[in-house]
Amino acid sequence: MGIEFPPLVIAEIGINHEGDPAKAHRMIDDAADAGVECVKFQTHVVTDEMIPNDVVPGNADEPIYAMMERCALSAQDEREMKAHAEERGMIFLSTPFSRAAADRLAELDVPAYKIGSGECNNYPLVRHIASLGKPVVLSTGMNDIASIRPAVEILRAAGVGFALLHCTSLYPTPPEMVRLGALDELREAFPDAVLGLSDHTTSIYPCLGSVALGARVLERHFTSDAGWPGPDIPVSSTPEEFGRLVEGSRLIHASLGGSKEVLAAEQPTIDFAYACVVTTAPVAAGERLSAANVWVKRPGTGQIRAVDYERVLGRTAARDLPADLQVGWDDLVDA
């Protein structure tokens, strides 16, 4: 990952499988078929993650504790998911929500860790994950620069590579609350970070727009079927949408950079699109050239381009010039 590379598109399967490994495996295949490079799950060891509670998330209708108990995959399930993803040529990532979850992923030898926005300022957990020695992708929703900075300092001290994902932790996120301008703030505050967007809108457009602003990691929730139940389904994209996200992000990345100059490759277009000075009527030798007998017309294969039209006016013809002749400097003498 880096500014010079096309964006890494992460399909956040999360808990959209609702605890059903068969649905999870289907989503792995569908993501791979869509051209996605990376799938991400969530690793929940519920007893190490939270105490029993009745708190209901804003995008759900059941307590978070019961939801995580129902949706948590086993260690063996996750081992099989990782093997499946890698067989399909994809990177397997997961978000650990506790020490036990991070340690489970360490045993799986995951290539990197994703830390969710809710854990961005959970510095003890960030420190534990950083101590495992793998790169970290850190979402920063619900955090400002001041609360992100200690987490970044932990990652720097551990010597692990890291990416920071701007995020709005609102499901769904209205477009006016996406705030892509935050990418500039993150770049200024943390110039050594790879930047990205973890998006919770209902379309792929904010992710595509963020590429032009430097985002090189794009994360959205993924589902094989928009009709499935689950709290994150309304902010999830389908395989078809992810296919367009992958294609569009690569195209936008390829379009970046460069400078405003004429390319050699544009010459074939110049040859027909530019205008050159031509006679609009026969001009006798010694006759003065004026707007009455010369103008600018295509193609652009003549010697005197339209930009020099004013320099031609007032000069005299060095020889008889027929109509529709592309005028050359040798055809002219000073008045």
pLDDT at 2: 78
Least Cα distance to 143 among 134, 135, 152 occurs for 152
- Per the prediction, the chain carries an average pLDDT of 97
Q: How confident is the model at residue 93 (pLDDT cuts 50, 70, 90)?
A: very high
Average pLDDT for residues 154-179, to the nearest whole number?
98
Q: What is the pLDDT of residue 291?
A: 97
Per-residue model confidence (pLDDT) at position 118 = 97
pTM: 0.92
- Confidence band, pLDDT 50/70/90 cuts, at residue 4: confident
pLDDT at 335: 63
